[in-house]
Structure 1
Amino acid sequence: MDDIQQRQEAIRLYLAKEKAAAIAHRFNKSRKWLYHWISRYKNNPQGNWWEEQSRAPHTPCASVDAAMEQNILLIRTELMQEKMAQIGAISIQYEMQRRAMPVAPVWTINRVIAKHGLNKPLEQKMPGKAYPETFWHTHQMDLVGPRYIKGDGMFYSINLIDITTHTCYVKAVRTKSSVGIVAALAAFWQKNGMPDALQMDNELAFRGSNRYPRSFGSIVRFALSQGVTPIFIPVKEPWRNGIIEKFNDTYQKRFLRAYTFENLNDLSVQEKAFITFHNSHHRYSSQQHKTPDEMQALALKPICYKGNIHLPNMDGKVHIPLRGGCVYYIRYIRSDLKLRLPNECFILHERFKYSYVVAEVNIENHCLNIRQNYEIVQTFPYTITAIDW
């Protein structure tokens, strides 16, 4: 029985008062399929209702004006030649507006881009599993590298971004020394204000020491000294720091690969121009296509860092006392019920299997609080190691 005969027989059975579920099951079809052909039959019972209809649009798409198409391609080409610029439809719209040209709709721009083969495949997002929300105003930090400058050697880049405004900061350093990372944080917070939380991955340079995992290093101590809560994302889940990871891709493509640097000093000079260009030109759909500078102008005046605690002492190290505050570790608990912190683990209650928890190290009370849905549901003693950094 071909498709047309199936449709005709299905309507015959329907008119004979047979149940829709039974008809659909007989032909191994969905009830949606059956109701579609019932509707077609009722609309035209005397006609050839069982035949397929053309799915072509009744109104053909209007062709894009040739002059507008050329303007779109011209601006797109110029933006692609600007190494640090964004090249999407929104950026093209703003550029058309700036040049007093007729502004094309986003879908028209995308049609032209696709027509000429200039479009890119969509990025796939990693799925989530009831991931806990922590602080609203957060800065994300990452360490990119090692990277190399021909004839000059290795370097790392300390990358920071405010997830509220997308204001960025980058600083190239020769090593992973905590002195350089603390200085980068201080410089960013001096100009752009301090967040409620600093979120980062489990890089050893951020944590402090494998030998003394409970002592905490200079980066954690510096954040706590300023009332900023350090948050360490789950191990091997870089997408939890998605905004800084996306920015790292922009930094890599629009800066490191776009220029040739003579040495680290040359790169340090050029990175200032990159920071300025990004913060004044890059537009984000998540903030109504405003640039980071435009978002900062709308925000409340931030509380900026004004101290000098990040300066190294005579021995070249940063000594910051550990007085109080909390450090957060977000972890996914598997079937073994183990909460894995740096170089140690704790066995949790059965209720946490296959879920995320927030492990809160309370410095003052020397305890480890396990939080879920903002509530403390389990507590362990957690003695802080008395190591001076």
Structure 2
Amino acid sequence: MKEILKTHPIPEILKIDNDSAFGANLPHERHIGKLAFFLLNLGVYPLYVAPRSPWNNGQVEGFNSVFSKKFWNKLQFSDEQEIDIKINDFNVAYEKYSRLVSNNPERKEKDIKYIDDFKDANLENKCVEQFKADKIYFLRIVRRKNDKGSDKEYGFIDILKHEIKLPKDLINLFVFCVLDLKSKLLKINIELDDGSLKDVKSIAFVIKNVIYGQA
């Protein structure tokens, strides 16, 4: 990663998958990995994409509404299996779209930085107050827990191996989650037809291997 950022500008947001190598699927609940700390100290907001959604893994770019315009708001799903099939179809269309349209926002030259601009920074720092980026984003699909139609049915998502219960009417929908590290608050949003976000649930959320307050 450091070698790449010597020649490529540091992005505002980095889309990455949920593999443990990328710091979001560690064996311990509510823990983040070395890459997440590295990004937060650089001022990069990590965006962990939904599992089984390789349509934008690893792309260095700002978050965009391509997914919602072309997929999220266009389709309805009957079950989890259908979602996975539709995502595969979307992957092909998205790859073709990406070749034609660059969705990297233009940045002023003074705002462009490279890894060498951070030679004196502690990129392993774990203190929230010293992070240059203070939020982590997650895109998730709400899955079903227990039998469909039963009294025990509800929706849920997994954030850093922590299960979060959601209303069953959100099952099979995508949610965009914003973890504010300073306020220790996780906001779970759905996207409305006009593209705005609606907060459907907010909970206290503390990452166990982060230092809150001055180190």
- Correspondence 1:68-107 to 2 at 5 A: none
Letter in 2 for 1:215: H
Structure 1 equivalent of residue 118 of structure 2: 307
Q: Does 1:341 align with 2:159?
A: yes
Would the aligned equivalents of 2:17 and 2:49 in 1 still touch at CA under 8 Å? yes
Structure 1 distance, partners of 2:144, 2:25, is: 28
TM-score normalised by L of structure 1: 0.34
Does 1 or 2 have the higher relative contact order (CA < 8 Å, sep 6+)?
2
Secondary structure of 2:118 counterpart: coil
Structure 2 equivalent of residue 328 of structure 1: 137
TM-score normalised by L of structure 2: 0.59
- Correspondence 1:168-207 to 2 at 5 A: 184=1, 186-207=2-23
Structure 1 distance, partners of 2:49, 2:171, is: 18
For residues 351 and 303 of structure 1, do their structure 2 counterparts lie closer, same or farther at Cα, with a shift above 3 Å needed? same
Structure 1 distance, partners of 2:58, 2:39, is: 21
Structure 2 distance, partners of 1:209, 1:241, is: 15
Structure 2 equivalent of residue 384 of structure 1: 207
Structure 2 equivalent of residue 361 of structure 1: 179
- Correspondence 1:1-389 to 2 at 5 A: 184=1, 186-207=2-23, 210-241=26-57, 285-287=99-101, 300-301=108-109, 302-305=111-114, 306-308=117-119, 319-323=124-128, 325-336=134-145, 337-373=155-191, 374-386=197-209
Secondary structure of 2:57 counterpart: helix
**Cα distance, 1:345 vs structure 2:** 0.7
Higher strand share: 2
Q: Which has the larger radius of gyration?
A: 1
Would the aligned equivalents of 2:28 and 2:161 in 1 still touch at CA under 8 Å? no
Deviations 1:159-209 (A, max 9, x none): xxxxxxxxxxxxxxxxxxxxxxxxx2x333343322120111111011166
For residues 300 and 286 of structure 1, do their structure 2 counterparts lie closer, same or farther at Cα, with a shift above 3 Å needed? farther
Secondary structure of 1:335 counterpart: strand
Would the aligned equivalents of 1:223 and 1:230 in 2 still touch at CA under 8 Å? yes
**Cα distance, 1:333 vs structure 2:** 0.9
Q: What's the C-alpha RMSD, in Å, of the aligned pairs?
A: 3.1
Letter in 2 for 1:327: I
For residues 310 and 359 of structure 1, do their structure 2 counterparts lie closer, same or farther at Cα, with a shift above 3 Å needed? same
Structure 1 distance, partners of 2:119, 2:24, is: 21
Structure 1 distance, partners of 2:32, 2:58, is: 25
Structure 1 distance, partners of 2:120, 2:189, is: 31
Structure 2 distance, partners of 1:218, 1:309, is: 18
In structure 1, stretches of 5+ residues that fail to align are 1-183, 245-283, 289-294, 312-317
Structure 2 equivalent of residue 261 of structure 1: none
Would the aligned equivalents of 2:177 and 2:186 in 1 still touch at CA under 8 Å? yes
In structure 2, stretches of 5+ residues that fail to align are 61-97, 146-154, 192-196
Identical aligned pairs, as a percentage? 19
Structure 2 distance, partners of 1:308, 1:204, is: 26
Letter in 2 for 1:334: R
**Count of aligned positions:** 151
Letter in 2 for 1:365: S
Deviations 1:263-284 (A, max 9, x none): xxxxxxxxxxxxxxxxxxxxx8
Secondary structure of 1:189 counterpart: helix
Structure 1 distance, partners of 2:15, 2:38, is: 14
Structure 1 distance, partners of 2:99, 2:186, is: 39
Structure 2 distance, partners of 1:387, 1:213, is: 13
For residues 205 and 285 of structure 1, do their structure 2 counterparts lie closer, same or farther at Cα, with a shift above 3 Å needed? closer
Structure 2 equivalent of residue 41 of structure 1: none
